[in-house]
Structure 1
Amino acid sequence: MGIVRKHFLIVTSMMVGTFLLILGFLYFLLPVYYNQTKEQEIKQSYLSIVKELDGQSEADIRTKMIELDKIDPNLYLLLEDEEGEILYPDEPIAATYSQSDNHDQVGIWTNRITSQEGQTFTLQGEYGFQSLFVINRTLLFLFPFVLVLVFLLVSIVALIYSRLSNRRITAISEVTRQMQSLEPGLSCPVEGHDEVAHLAKDINVLYQHLLGNMEELKRENERTQARRKQEADFVRMTSHELKTPIASMLGLIDGMIYNVGDFKNHEKYLKQCREILQEQSHLVQSVLEATTLDIGEQREFEFDLAEAVRKELSPSLHLANLKQLQLDLELEPVIVRANQLFLLKAIKNIVDNAIRYTVEGGRVRIILKDHQLLVENQAEKLLRLEELEQIFQPFYRPDYSRSKKDGGTGIGLYLVQQVLDQHGFTYQFEAVDDSMMRFTIDFSQS
């Protein structure tokens, strides 16, 4: 059963029941209340007459009886002396009083009064009036017609009320059905300040939160897909990086096993095999660091980056001195909120690369101020734009660095990118003039 029909039946039943209770009260209780009230009013009039006549002279009593008898038309007075002789009224009409007026409520009160002369009189008060029981018969006759009329009026009022009271709920229901499509811009109409209005507001807030969560899930799904693609690309590149040295070392070992040509010199080629294994060990270690990097599981806190960088870069600065590089170090106190272990490792990779690829006797500048870190070096060769676009890819190394013995694994800047991206720091790697490369990190959003 719908709410409109339920409200209609409930309101109709309540109003008809209320009307029946009112009719029952009018039929049964009102006449009784009226009769008792009317009788008390007449009795008060009678008692006031008794009080006024008591103690008066006999002449005054006879004179006032005529005036007092007219006070209440429903009260008839009768005065007798001690011998029972009627002194008022002059004609004996008391016996026919109630019958002549067709009164259905009658009664008699009797009191004794004493005159100034000491004579005792009996004062009777007979009352009679028409009760409301006659009206009950009229109500009983009209009851069926009144009931039908009331039922029709109540039904109309209940129907209008039911439809109006459920109009907002119906509108909210229609909007919520539309919300199943999760289309943006939908909202329930909010009218008034009652419970229905609060319900509409709560639905709107819930729907907006749902849309927000759906959008966040969508973005998270896109990020997950991107991470999965990166992981697949990373695994593919790792396999490629391992494939060539493994094949090379297998060739060396086969040559030594079968003593082919110069491979008879086992000591020479065993050293080469060891060098290849050592390089691959460094590569595997870098790969493990890249695959286990998860800053989200580590605790972040605020610390002085200048002091931490000075301690972390101490070995790298000694290396720069050994290479006789011109080192400019300017570190101002800067408070950042980050994972100190990973951030310092990323900065160390940047500085190590700068020192590694600086020309002999060249300059390296490390400047930390105004929430920015600048690492500049006088590079052996400036990177071209297409090389800068690929420099953060795993295992990517410019052609000139591949030929060098200390060309690295190609994982360092990839790790730097992962650390800075997960912290939300902005960064840039660029050539600033004909000889300098600059790596900039902005910590202003930390």
Structure 2
Amino acid sequence: MKKYIKEHLGVKIFLLTAVLLLTVSGLAYGMVAFGVSKSYLAELDDSLDKSTQNLVSQLSEVSEQEMGTMLKMFALEYSLSITLMDENGKELQSFGQIEYKLDPKTDSEKSQISKGITKTYFVDRKEGSDYQILIFGTKQRTNAALDSLNRILPALIIIAFLISLIIAVFYSRYVTNPILVLSRASKKLADLDFQIQRPVNRSDEIGILGENLNRLAEGLEEALDELKEKNLLLQRDIMREKQMEQQQLDFFSAVSHELKTPVTVLKGQLQGMLYRVGGYKDRDKYLRRSYEVVNSMDDMIKEILSVARIKSSGFALSRVTIALDKIVQGVIHNLEDIAINKGLQLHIELLEQAGVTVDKALFEKVISNLIGNAIKYTPDNGSVWIRIFREGGNIIFSVENESENIPEAEIPQLFDAFYRRDKSRSRKTGGSGLGLYIVKMILELHGFAYQFYNTEHGVAIKIIFS
């Protein structure tokens, strides 16, 4: 029971209120019982004093016979007992409804005072002897009132108890209900449930507390949503970092694989020439082949360094506005001899003064790789189309060359590092396998869209400068 009371605020307030009300009721009853006696006697003293003073003034002028009649009437009118004494204090006669007898040894004044006598008055008569009168006011009325209160005391106790219980119930509910509502609201907050709109509709301190809880819930909900959003972004960043890390591991693994083959070839050729094994006795022939392998490795290392530089954390684009047609013309001029040696026809259609904002050095590499790949992988006596034009308000650069179509599922793989098709992208045709990979990196850094697709003549790639 004690534990239940200790754990429930409503029960504690109910019991405390009930005990308090019952205590106040008891005190009120005691004060009424005590106050009836005191107030009656005080009232009796005041009224008697005035009436008696008036009586005394009348007694001083009447005869002794009339004085006795007046004292008797006065005693009956005020329900008093009056003792008439001579000037020496000797009792002469008593008047009133209360009769008492005193022991000869008893002090009559003390005895009568104990029964309620209020005052002693002196009657100075104009003729004859002087007298004293003792006025005694009985407590009979006071005792009657107290007896009446005592008779109805059980009923008063029951009524006070029931009223106290009813008031305690309503008061405890009025006090504890909003607190219980706020307690449930705070529990929801602890469980991260923020749907507690206005828990109590009041304007006092409890209402202010409820409004503060409501605002706290809104603030926590916003903070939690923001935290979830940032956590989601963080998870995405972590996934992106993991992907980049995996890409780097894959890249270095591919680099190791790609370098291993030419190194092995070069090592075998040099060893054969040193030991003059078979055909390796013709040193000039295999020295030229070794030189070609070294050149191929040199090109690959340069491409790898370009990739590493672009991927470095401190790398930043140096954008300038250039005339795209001038860059394309310069690249075509550098590769023109290779195209002539293969008997290729170059169909060139360039929009003049095509200004684009790019990193000039990187974009020269993009144009060079795309045109170089088109020339390299076009069969002898084939055609290559190089164009710059406008489409939908954007400048478009495209390169198309005659070749066999590439399966659609294989096209995205062309931009992976060191990817080569079995036939047209083999090492016999040269190349590091990083050309299109670098092109993709540079275009993504600039934010330019690009498309690689099959055509009726072969394959084409276009860059959209938006």
Same fold (TM over 0.5): yes
Q: Does 1:377 align with 2:399?
A: yes
- Amino acid in structure 2 at the alignment position of 1:190: I
Instruction: State the secondary structure of the residue aligned to 1:190.
Output: coil
Are the equivalent residues in 2 in contact too, given 1:241–1:395 (CA < 8 A)? yes
- Flag the 1:9–1:284 CA change in 2: closer, same or farther, 3 A: farther
1:437 counterpart SS class: strand
Residue of structure 2 equivalent to 1:150: 164
> Whole-Å Cα distance in 2 between the matches of residues 372 and 175 of structure 1?
54
SS of corresponding position for 1:379: strand
Letter in 1 for 2:367: V
Are 2:399 and 2:462, in contact at CA under 8 Å, matched by a contact in 1? no
Distance in 2 (CA, whole Å) between partners of 1:290 and 1:442 is 23
Q: What amino acid maps onto 2:424 in structure 1?
A: Y
Which sections of structure 1, spanning at least 5 residues, go unmatched? Answer: 35-41, 47-68, 101-106, 109-129, 180-186, 335-339
CA RMSD of aligned residues (A): 6.0
Structure number, greater radius of gyration: 2
Look up the match of 1:320: 332
In 2, the alpha carbon distance for the partners of 1:274 and 1:213 equals 55
Deviation at 1:170, TM superposition (A): 4.0
CA distance in 2, matches of 1:33, 1:347: 110
**Are the structure 2 counterparts of residues 191 and 259 from structure 1 closer, same or farther at C-alpha, using a change threshold of 3 Å?**
same
Q: Which residue of 2 aligns with 1:126?
A: none
Deviation string 1:366-423 (CA, Å, 9 cap, x unpaired) is 4577674522124253652345232111112454354676x43222322333455567
Q: Deviations over 1:41-68 (max 9, x none)?
A: x9xxx9xxxxxxxxxxxxxxxxxxxxxx
Structure 2 match to 1:281: 298
Cα deviation digits, residues 161-183 of structure 1 (max 9, x gap): 64674357547747965x7xxxx
Match of 2:195 in 1: 189
Residues 277-306 of structure 1 deviation map (CA, whole Å, 9 limit, x = unaligned): 3422332343344356448x56989x9x6x
C-alpha displacement of 1:349:
3.6
Deviation of 1:249 after TM superposition, in Å, equals: 0.5
Unaligned runs of 5+ in 2: 37-42, 62-69, 82-117, 120-141, 200-209, 337-345, 376-381
Give 3-state SS (helix, strand or coil) of 1:394's partner: coil
Counterpart Cα distance in 1 of 2:174 and 2:244: 61
Shift of the 97–408 alpha-carbon distance from structure 1 to 2, 3 Å rule, reads farther
TM-score normalised by structure 1 residue count: 0.57
How far 1:222 moved relative to its partner?
Answer: 4.8
Tell me, in whole angstroms, the C-alpha distance in 1 between the residues paired with 2:305 and 2:8.
69
Query: Do the aligned partners of residues 78 and 254 (structure 1) sit closer, same or farther apart at CA in structure 2, a change above 3 Å counting?
Result: same
Deviation at 1:247, TM superposition (A): 1.0
Would you say the 8 A contact 1:172–1:189 is kept in 2? Answer: no
- Residue 269 of structure 2: which of 249, 252, 257 is its match? 252
| Compared CA separation, residues 381 and 144, structure 1 to 2 (3 A) | same
Alpha carbons of 1:161 and 1:382: their partners in 2 closer, same or farther (altered >3 Å)?
farther
Residue aligning to 1:11: 13
Match of 1:60 in 2: none
CA contact (8 A) 2:324 2:354 kept: no
Q: Distance in 2 between matches of 1:258 and 1:291?
A: 39
Equivalent residue of 1:440, what SS?
A: strand
The structural deviation recorded for 1:248 is 0.3
Pick one of 345, 350, 354 that aligns with 2:366: 350
Deviation sequence 1:294-331 (CA, Å, 0-9, x none)? 48x56989x9x6xx251799666423234456344452
Seen in structure 2, the aligned counterparts of structure 1 residues 7 and 201 have a Cα distance that, compared at 3 Å, is farther
- Percent sequence identity is 20
TM-score (normalised: structure 2)? 0.55
Check conservation: 1:428, 1:440, Cα contact below 8 A.
Answer: yes
Per the TM alignment, residue 428 of structure 1 is displaced from its structure 2 partner at its CA by 1.9
Q: Write the letter of the residue equivalent to 1:352.
A: S
